[in-house]
Each structure stands twice: as structure tokens, then as C-alpha cells.
Chains A and B, each alone.
Chain A
Amino acid sequence: SQKKGALRDLKCVTNNLQEWDCSWKAPLGAGRGTVYEVCIEDRPRSCYRLEKTNIKIAALSPGDHEIRINSLHDLQSSMSKFILNERNVSLVPDTPKILNLSADFSTSTLHLTWNDKGSLFPYHSNVIWEIKILRKESMELVKLATYNTTLSGKDAVRHWSWTSDMPLECATHHVGIRRYIDCPHFSGRKEWSDWSPMKNISWTPDSQTKVFPQDKVILVGSDITFCCVSQEKVLLAQIGHKNCPLIQLDGGNVAIEIHNISVSANSGTNVVFTTEDNMFGTVVFAGYPPDSPQKLNCETHDLKEIICSWNPGRPTALVGPRNTSYTLFESFSGKYVKFKRVEALTNESYQLLFQMLPNQEMYNFTLNARNPLGRSASTILVNITERVSPHAPTSFKVKDINSTAVTLSWHLPGNFAKIYLLCEIEINKANSIQESRNVTVKGVENSSYLVAVDKLNPYTVYTFRIRCSTETFWKWSKWSNERKHLTTEA
């Protein structure tokens, strides 16, 4: 219901749902000194006189409200009526402000913090933050990310990180942030805030290093960008023997993009940038994370020391300081032992020694493998008394008892006091079939053992040898040395 000379385009905006900022366009011909009288019909004592074309009013309750605006100019008055409803109001959040932008150049990661000003907003609401990252002086958009949080009625400092595909040393990065409040309590239009003032970050050369990233370890098949900080014009870039197209950055800086990088040799793959007078380079190590340790086995020779062995699986192509490190952790005791093999031979069985613990037979081992590209693990639960693989018997001797019986003695290193040993005696007689007898002996600690062997023929040459295991069989030891013996005459 607008007449000639009436006001136009009444618009109301709010950034906190508590206060509406309403503005209108002055009537045609309204000059300086125009006074406006704004009245909200169904709100007592709510008439305001002002000389500007906007007014802040407390948010109106849902539903239609009639607003009457009188414009008084040179004794002429003109009155306009509007129907104002929350639905016509726009929620435009405050422009956010970045608290801090920092960079971890070693990982090419930007860290952003800002205050979400939750205290200024009355309701718990979902907030969508949009973060844009621009690169170079030409402000190329390289990343547009969204990040969801909730306003909780209190201010909260928010953190967000981003790992750049390009090393941060080689180009200035600019960051801006804006937000959108998705408030369920508000029926009006919801709009994005303005972008925050941009913050930027660039690298100040602190060393001779020109090429980045330095000595990077990455997964085979990855894409990676290398760049070179240079005042001189870079003429050529190579990875290994392959030339790469140059991507111009700011100043003399350039970058190259490598896709699906292939596995490196042990010494890594060289990346080289060449100028008229100079050559700058770095090395990249493209490899694999450690395989889960395979064929993990834990046993003991002597019930004193446990030997865990395993196969590393697929070679990682990473050696030296980037090699796979192994840690054997025993969960019942909480003890662990570390294995760090700087010069790893591929596909060769690895092993670790773990000292047995008094009165502990059950061992729950986890073998953790780790290198710069990842980690893996294998576990094994053993009752170590059932995993005894004794050393070969030593000091094996034969002594006569009589013409048809002898004693066999031998030494077996190990703490077998709590178990029974099962030993196999092999008896050979010239021109006769080989005979084998099993004997069970009570284990002792680090001692010798003695058994009698009877039913032999008098005055006969026998060859004896022995090997042992445990009653709960796991593995035989190696055979002892053989002993030839002539039984006495009858």
C-alpha cells in the first residue's frame, strides 16, 4: 500500500536473531533533514524518530507486523505502511575473523584458528564454515572446504588444518573464512556471512635449501608436487632421468607435478632443478608401509629366553633411517623389546629375543611394525612350555652297565625343571635295521640326563644318538653327535 513519494524496499537483516536492522530507500526527492517516524503497530510505545534510513529494532515475534513509517520533510509528510514478517528477514551472520594462521612447513600443513562467537547467538545451531585457500599473488583458488560445527551459546575457538599438495615454501598462501548459520528457529532467509579479511603466509628462506619437500617419504603411486625457490630462471626439472613440465609460480619459483610415483631405489629418487649456472635438488623415497609381520613364531630353546621370529613380507623399499622398526610387546607383563635393523635384508627372517619372566608360562605377544608410511602388527598367544625346541644334546656318552645294557648321558642346557622331556634314542647295529626308543625324563635345570638302554646284544658294535623334545611336543632338537660303542662280552 505505497503512495507517490512513499518509501521503498524496506529490508530487514539480522546477525543474531535478537535484533533486526531494517533499512529502506528514501522517497524520491527526499533531501537532507528528512525525519522519519517509525511505528510498530502492535508493539506499545514503539515509535522512533530518526534522520537516517535504517533502524535497529528488537526482533519481532513470528507472524505479520504492520510497520508505519512517516517521512517528514519541509512540513510535508508522507506515510508508508509495511507488513513485516520474520520470513522476510535475512539472517546474515557476522563476518568471522581469523585469530591465527600458521604453517608447519615440514608437513606443508596450514593451521587455522578462529573464534566462533557462539556467545552472540541465542540458539544452538549448526554452522557451516567455508574456508578458501588461494595461492600465489594471482590468488588462484586451490581449496574450498566446508567445516561443520555447532554454536553452543558460548564462544569457542575453532581449529582447522589443511595439508597442501604443494610445499608451502614456494608460494604465498592466502586464507579466508565465512559462515552460514543453519538455525532451525528462524523462518527467514539464511545467507552466508561476508568473507573474513584474508590472512596469508609465506616462507622466509632460512637456509641454502631450495627444493621442497626435502627428503620426503611417500607411498608408491602417490601424486606429489615438488617446487624450487629460485631467483634465477629454472630451465629444466627432472625426476630421475625424466624431464618434467615446469609450472611457473611467483618470481622465479617453479613447481613440477608427479603422478603415480614409482618405487624408489634404496638411495631414493633424485629430483633436480637446473638453472643457467646452478643445480638444486632433493631426494624422494617412494616406498610401502610395512606388511603385517608374517609367520610370527615364538619358541624357546631353554625356557629362559624366548625367540620370536617373523618374515617382514613385502619389501618396503625404505632402508636406513626410514627402515621398518619392530617392537615386540608382551601384554601380560607389559614388557617390550625393540628391534631396529638399519641394514635390512629383504625377505630374510628377522628375530627378537625376549627374556622369560619368572612364573609366567602364557605370553601374549604383539609384534608392531612401523615405518614412516604406516604401521602394522601381528599377534601370537603362546604357552611357552609347549613351544620348546631344545638345543641339540651335548656331551653325549655311553657307558656299560653289563653286556646287554648301557647308560646314555647327555647335557641339555635349559631350565626344564617344571616339565618332562621326551627324548628319542636311535640305535644302529651293523647289518641290522635301525631301532628307535623313546624315553621320558623329568626335566632339570641346566643339567645332565641319564637313561639306561637294555636288551642289547653282547659284544656288538652299536651307534647311538639322541634328540629331545618336550612331552607336549613342539619340535625335536637336532640330533646329538653319534657315539659308537662295543658292548662287553657276555
Chain B
Amino acid sequence: STAAAMRGCMGPYQHLLSQLQRQAHLTEDTSSLLEPYIHLQGLNTPILRGSCTEHPGAFPSKDALRGLSKRSFLRTVNATLDRVLKGLVALQKQLLNNDLKELETARQNIQGIRNNIHCMSWLLGGSSETAEPMQTGPGSWLQLTSTLDVFQAKLEGCRFLRGYHRFMGSVGWVFREWGESPSRSRRHSPRWALHK
């Protein structure tokens, strides 16, 4: 139940926030998943790297994320990461000889982030269930269907991971804008305005 899940939540807001920031930073790093995938799939040429671009609209943009309330933001990140997990399952099937051990690490990291997001939502008062997540655009989500030929599937996987890392970078950015206390956001604090 939610109560039981919440018991796992440890530490004050600041601790949770810095943990989420660290996790976002970890998963933003393309060497954690995209780079190994590129090498495994033989996509490590300038031309193919150039084609490995994020599908527009597949993941929420940074600006879109910054415009959300905290709870909507948490909800959106949680929902998006749920879809990322499904995407990683599809990717796993594509990688025939399970040569990409980084995939499992990524899965665990994402699970860890989602747990902390649940805790943060609880900390911010009430579940984030009620807040509507931002719907990602109709952009093509990871379509690793059997109709794709092998080459297209490789590129799709690459573009998906490109988007995932970029998204995590944006998430980290937003978390870094959060203030020291649950109610304030550094983006709304006067001092922050001076820095702009």
C-alpha cells in the first residue's frame, strides 16, 4: 500500500532533493547507456551519430518541465520514466544476445529515481497521483515493432536513448532550481532573479 511504500522514504526534503539531483545527474550521462549502445550497434560513425537525434516530442522539453507545478512535474517525470522502463524492455528484446549490461543498471537507477519521486510527492503533501502529468506530445515513442528492419530499429533505439538522457538532464536542471524548502522554488526567489 502507499503507506507501506512511504515507510521506505528516508530523510528530510533537502536530503531527498540532493539525492534526486544526483540520480538525475547520473542518468543524464550518456556514457551510462547511450554510448555503450552506440558501440554495440555499430553506430559509432559521424554519419550515424548525426542521425541519432531525439524524436521531437517524444520526451517533455526542459521549458515544459520548468513550467509545471512541483507536483505535476513529479507526476510527469514518474509517468515518463514508466514509459522509459517499457522502452528499455523493448530495447532488451532488440539486443539479441543481452550484450548490454548497462541496461539493467539503468533500469535499477530509474526505479530508484521513481521511488524517490514517490517520497518527494508524499513529502510535498499528499500523493502526486492527483496532479495531472504533462502529456508528452504525439511524438513517436520507441516503436521497436517487428515491421522495422534491423537498421531502423537500431536507429530508433539510439534516438530513444538520446531523448532519455536529454530528458534526465532537464529533470536534473529543474530539481536544481528547487529551493531549500518544499514550499519555495529558487526560481521564484528574489536572489535567483538577480542571477538571470
Residue ranges of A at the interface with B (Cβ–Cβ < 8 Å)? 209, 211, 214-215, 236, 238, 240-241, 265-272, 274, 279, 281-283, 319-321, 323, 342-344
CB-CB nearest 8 A-B residue pairs: A320-B96, A283-B150, A281-B151, A319-B97, A319-B96, A266-B97, A215-B150, A270-B42
Residues of B within 8 A of A240 (CB): 42, 45
Query: Which B-chain residue is minimally distant from A264 (CB atoms)?
Result: B42
Most buried by A among B40, B95, B97: B97
B150 and A268: CB pair below 8 A? yes
Also in contact, A282 and B96, with CB within 8 A (given A270-B154, A272-B47): no
B149 and A215: CB pair below 8 A? yes
CB of B108 closer than 8 Å to a CB of A: no
Residues of B within 8 A of A267 (CB): 40-42, 95-96, 99, 154
CB of B43 closer than 8 Å to a CB of A: yes
Query: Which B-chain residue is minimally distant from A271 (CB atoms)?
Result: B151
B48 and A270: CB pair below 8 A? yes
Residues of B within 8 A of A266 (CB): 96-97, 99
Beyond the given A240-B45, A270-B41, A323-B96, please list 14 additional residue pairs across the A-B interface where CB-CB is below 8 A. A215-B149, A238-B47, A241-B44, A265-B42, A266-B97, A268-B150, A270-B43, A272-B48, A279-B51, A281-B151, A282-B149, A282-B150, A283-B151, A343-B98
| Bound-state Cα–Cα, A350 to B152, Å | 33
11 A–B pairs (Cβ distance < 8 Å), ordered by A? A214-B149, A238-B47, A240-B42, A240-B45, A266-B99, A267-B41, A267-B154, A268-B150, A270-B41, A281-B151, A282-B150
B97 and A343: CB pair below 8 A? yes
Also in contact, A272 and B45, with CB within 8 A (given A266-B97, A282-B151, A319-B97): yes
Residues of A within 8 A of B97 (CB): 266, 319-320, 343-344
The contact string, 1 if C-beta is below 8 Å from chain A, for chain B 146-170, is: 0001110011000000000000000
**A222 to B: closest C-beta gap in Å:** 18
| Bound-state Cα–Cα, A269 to B154, Å | 11
Residues of B within 8 A of A281 (CB): 48, 151, 155
A209 and B149: CB pair below 8 A? yes
| Bound-state Cα–Cα, A238 to B149, Å | 18
B151 and A269: CB pair below 8 A? no
A269 and B42: CB pair below 8 A? yes
B42 and A268: CB pair below 8 A? yes
Residues of A within 8 A of B43 (CB): 270
Residues of B within 8 A of A241 (CB): 44-45
**B164 to A: closest C-beta gap in Å:** 19
Query: Which B-chain residue is minimally distant from A322 (CB atoms)?
Result: B96
Query: Which A-chain residue is minimally distant from B96 (CB atoms)?
Result: A320
Residues of A within 8 A of B95 (CB): 267
| Bound-state Cα–Cα, A267 to B44, Å | 13
| Bound-state Cα–Cα, A209 to B147, Å | 11
**B17 to A: closest C-beta gap in Å:** 39
The residue from A279, A283, A343 contacting B154, defined by CB atoms under 8 A apart: A283
Residues of B within 8 A of A319 (CB): 96-97
The contact string, 1 if C-beta is below 8 Å from chain A, for chain B 19-53, is: 00000000000000000000011111101101100
B47 and A236: CB pair below 8 A? yes
**B83 to A: closest C-beta gap in Å:** 24
| Bound-state Cα–Cα, A209 to B149, Å | 9
Q: Which of B85-143 contact A (CB under 8 A)?
A: 95-99
B96 and A270: CB pair below 8 A? no
| Bound-state Cα–Cα, A283 to B148, Å | 12
Residues of A within 8 A of B42 (CB): 240, 265, 267-270
**B53 to A: closest C-beta gap in Å:** 11
**A175 to B: closest C-beta gap in Å:** 29
The contact string, 1 if C-beta is below 8 Å from chain A, for chain B 174-193, is: 00000000000000000000
A279 and B98: CB pair below 8 A? no
Residues of A within 8 A of B96 (CB): 266-267, 319-321, 323, 342-343
**A340 to B: closest C-beta gap in Å:** 13
Residues of B within 8 A of A283 (CB): 149-151, 154
Most buried by B among A236, A266, A321: A266
| Bound-state Cα–Cα, A80 to B44, Å | 85
| Bound-state Cα–Cα, A283 to B95, Å | 14
| Bound-state Cα–Cα, A240 to B50, Å | 15
**B152 to A: closest C-beta gap in Å:** 8
Residues of A within 8 A of B48 (CB): 270, 272, 279, 281
Query: Which A-chain residue is minimally distant from B40 (CB atoms)?
Result: A267
Residues of A within 8 A of B45 (CB): 238, 240-241, 270, 272
Residues of A within 8 A of B149 (CB): 209, 214-215, 282-283
**B143 to A: closest C-beta gap in Å:** 13
**A359 to B: closest C-beta gap in Å:** 42
| Bound-state Cα–Cα, A415 to B59, Å | 61
